[in-house]
């Protein structure tokens, strides 16, 4: 594809086919994503339609191969050098040499440039007109042909100046421009291509007791895979043997290697840094985390933001208007000023300078780099339309459990004369309990090296606690009500209990033979970076709200630690959507941040849905943005990146529009003769290339963006 109109033409022709649900074509990435009804149409017919429109098409692997991209660039480079080798002598002869057969020699040198180097413009123009489109190919073919054939007539039939150098310079310069654009756009998508290349081609698996190296396609779910130090992990899995550290930076953006033990999940494309691991394959092929990240990133790169649709509509009307301006300029200079040289020069210059490439790549170039930058940092923008919505946000709602907190209870405080002993007794009492608080106590004891023996008897008392016998002693562990029932005095501990409850913690009192010996507090602890995340968002001018099913007292206690002033407490899961709707009814523009599964309806209801901690089910998550890492700080990162990408899109569109509004009148000769140099076709072609490079270069600055 040579310009955005090419993409629109393919998109239009595909959309007309019976059975096509949706067709999106991206000029910058040279890619189409097509959703279709396989009962009505197949891939062969889709590919045939693209070819009938005048383009080559291949399926995913073929279309994205590095070798194919290199061939395209090499072909354009060869054409440019052929054109340059002929255009330089054409220019020298035109401006510096004078002899009788000069025009014939210029004709001989220009003809290969016109019809060999410029053949792809003629071919593109033919396909465009055949499909009732007018694009860049038509502009270039029309301008170069006008100069060439006028010169041809002048050489043999009339005594008039020739413009062979204009034709040759236009074709050669624009071929160079397309080459530079191809190479620049190639760089905009390199992050996603690097991700695609992360998956190894083979894997070592254990079958029938033997280690066998097989192609990655032959790995099945349940296979035991062996991964050695320094190797990339081929598929997603769960460690069954070994201990190591894994570099997950290309998946999550996290630079510090992550420790992995038996039972831990590991992801395709990450690097095993230390020991040898054996793991069970859990997700393979298109289901791996890496494959899902790549798919989501590529889909959003091909998707069109609303602002791009406006640019596309402008391009549709732009080219016909430019042709009218070029014809008008020709008519004015030829009819009113009897200046046939200037008439033809302005005609060619206007057509060349107005090629709408910059307008067409303004949005996709910025989106490709922005989305790639997000993927590098574990932020997946799933819908390009969200880029324009994020700027309106004024409120960020966090679900508490699993988002701001770890989502699992931990022992936070032990109040006793002998803390070690009280912890051991509490762990014995909870050894057979299935309550989350009991599990937290046992886990805490084991982490401190305490061996937890079995109790003699165990009785769970719903709503109160537990009662057990251990070494002839009666142990009680529970709340105030349990102590009252067994007439255990707790006055000495009351101040501690009240203080811990005000902090939003659950307090469990330990009594031995009806004597209170201490207490433990358990709480769903705040994630390491939650406080910083909240503060960052507030510094960005956003209101932060916490949504929780906890009691108001507990919710407000946790919110106070985080610096959150607004709490929606005692909210049942089914009521979360209603709470988001109420905020929207107040006129707020809301982002909802949750785990993407339990909070899916609320995330969908919000103006911007952000699913945090995507893990291995990234593609399944609700929402517009998925944060791969379980880090609430990435909420601010995703908002900042979205705003920065939109800023680049707007800058690009401004420069593209401003450039055309400024240069087209100049190329038409409005300030002639004072700025007559801008009427030259070669200057027009160079200026057109400069506009493309400006837009792509401005987009490339996004690569330097840091969270």
Question: Which stretches of 253-360 are assigned E, i.e. beta strand?
Answer: 258-260, 265-266, 271-272, 277-283
Burial of 260 (0-12, 13-18, 19+ CB in 10 A): buried
Closest CA to 281 of 252, 239, 246, 244: 239
Catalytic member of 223, 312, 399, 630:
399
- H/E segment holding residue 242: none
Cβ density class 217-252: b for 16+ within 10 Å, e for less: eebeeebbbbbeeebbbbbbbebeebebbbbbbbbb
Distance CA(572)–CA(638), nearest Å, equals 28
Q: Residue holding tokens 């922005």?
A: 370
Distance CA(677)–CA(687), nearest Å, equals 12
Task: Find out whether 679 and 667 touch, Cβ atoms under 8 Å.
Answer: yes
Task: Find out whether 493 and 517 touch, Cβ atoms under 8 Å.
Answer: no
Phi/psi for 2 (5° steps) reads -105, -20
Which residues have CB under 8 Å from 127's CB, separation 6+?
9, 53, 54, 55, 137
Which residues have CB under 8 Å from 188's CB, separation 6+?
28, 365, 368, 369, 372, 696, 699, 700
- Quick check: is 236 catalytic? no
Distance CA(660)–CA(652), nearest Å, equals 12
Which residues have CB under 8 Å from 57's CB, separation 6+?
32, 46, 47, 50, 51, 63
Distance CA(632)–CA(597), nearest Å, equals 16
Active site residues: 399
């Amino acid at each position: 594809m040579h310009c955005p109109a090419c993409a629109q033409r393919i998109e239009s022709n595909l959309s007309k086919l019976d059975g096509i649900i949706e067709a999106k074509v991206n000029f910058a990435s040279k890619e189409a994503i097509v959703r279709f009804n396989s009962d009505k149409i197949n891939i062969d017919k889709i590919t045939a339609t693209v070819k009938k429109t005048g383009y080559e098409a291949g399926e995913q692997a073929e279309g994205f191969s590095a070798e194919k991209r290199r061939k395209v660039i090499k072909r354009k480079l060869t054409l440019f050098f052929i054109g340059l080798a002929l255009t330089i002598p054409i220019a020298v002869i035109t401006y510096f040499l004078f002899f009788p057969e000069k025009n014939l020699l210029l004709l001989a040198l220009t003809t290969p440039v016109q019809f060999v180097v410029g053949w792809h413009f003629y071919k593109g123009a033919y396909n465009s007109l055949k499909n009732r489109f007018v694009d860049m190919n038509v502009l270039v073919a029309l301008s170069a042909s006008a100069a060439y054939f006028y010169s041809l007539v002048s050489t043999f039939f009339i005594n008039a100046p020739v413009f062979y150098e204009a034709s040759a310079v236009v074709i050669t310069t624009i071929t160079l421009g397309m080459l530079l654009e191809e190479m620049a756009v190639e760089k905009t998508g390199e992050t996603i291509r690097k991700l695609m290349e992360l998956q190894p081609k083979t894997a070592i698996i254990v079958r029938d007791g033997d280690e066998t190296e097989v192609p990655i396609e032959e790995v099945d779910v349940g296979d035991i895979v062996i991964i050695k130090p320094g190797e990339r992990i081929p598929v997603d899995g769960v460690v069954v043997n070994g201990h190591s550290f894994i570099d997950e930076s290309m998946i999550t953006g996290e630079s510090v290697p992550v420790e992995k033990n038996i039972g831990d999940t590991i992801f395709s494309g990450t690097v095993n840094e230390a020991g040898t691991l054996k793991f069970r394959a859990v997700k393979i092929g298109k289901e791996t985390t890496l494959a899902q990240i790549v798919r989501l990133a590529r889909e959003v790169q091909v998707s069109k933001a609303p602002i791009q649709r406006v640019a596309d509509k402008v391009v549709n009307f732009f080219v016909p208007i430019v042709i009218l301006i070029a014809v008008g300029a020709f008519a004015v200079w030829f009819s009113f000023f009897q200046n046939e040289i200037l008439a033809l020069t302005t005609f060619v210059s206007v057509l060349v300078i107005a090629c709408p490439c910059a307008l067409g790549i303004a949005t996709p170039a910025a989106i490709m780099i922005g989305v790639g930058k997000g993927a590098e940092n574990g932020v997946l923008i799933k819908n390009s339309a969200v880029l324009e919505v994020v700027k309106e946000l004024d409120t960020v709602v966090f679900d508490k459990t699993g988002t701001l907190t770890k989502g699992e209870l931990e022992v936070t405080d032990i109040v006793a004369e002998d803390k070690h002993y009280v912890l051991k007794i509490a762990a014995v009492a909870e050894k057979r309990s299935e309550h989350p608080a009991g599990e937290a106590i046992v886990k805490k004891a084991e982490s401190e090296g305490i061996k937890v023996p079995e109790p003699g008897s165990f009785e769970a008392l719903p709503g109160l606690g537990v009662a057990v016998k251990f070494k002839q002693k009666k142990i009680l562990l529970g709340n105030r009500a349990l102590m009252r029932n067994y007439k255990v005095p707790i006055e000495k501990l009351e101040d501690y209990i009240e203080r811990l409850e005000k902090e939003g913690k659950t307090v469990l009192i330990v009594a031995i033979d009806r004597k209170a010996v201490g207490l433990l507090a358990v709480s769903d602890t705040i994630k390491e970076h939650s406080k910083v995340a909240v503060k960052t968002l507030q510094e960005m001018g956003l209101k932060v709200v916490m949504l929780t099913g906890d009691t108001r007292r507990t919710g407000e206690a946790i919110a106070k630690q985080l610096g959150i002033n607004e709490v929606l407490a005692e909210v049942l899961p089914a009521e979360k959507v209603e709470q988001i709707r109420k905020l929207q009814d107040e006129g707020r523009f809301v982002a909802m941040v949750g785990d993407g599964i339990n909070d899916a309806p609320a995330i969908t209801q919000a103006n911007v849905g952000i699913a945090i901690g995507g893990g291995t089910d990234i593609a399944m998550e609700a929402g517009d943005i998925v944060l791969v890492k379980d880090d609430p700080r990435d909420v601010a990162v995703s908002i900042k990146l979205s705003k920065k990408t939109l800023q680049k899109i707007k800058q690009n569109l401004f420069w593209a529009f401003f450039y055309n509004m400024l240069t087209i009148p100049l190329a038409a000769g409005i300030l002639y003769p004072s700025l007559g140099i801008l009427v030259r076709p070669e200057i027009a072609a160079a200026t057109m290339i400069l506009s493309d490079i400006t837009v792509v270069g401005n987009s490339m600055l996004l690569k330097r963006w840091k969270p």
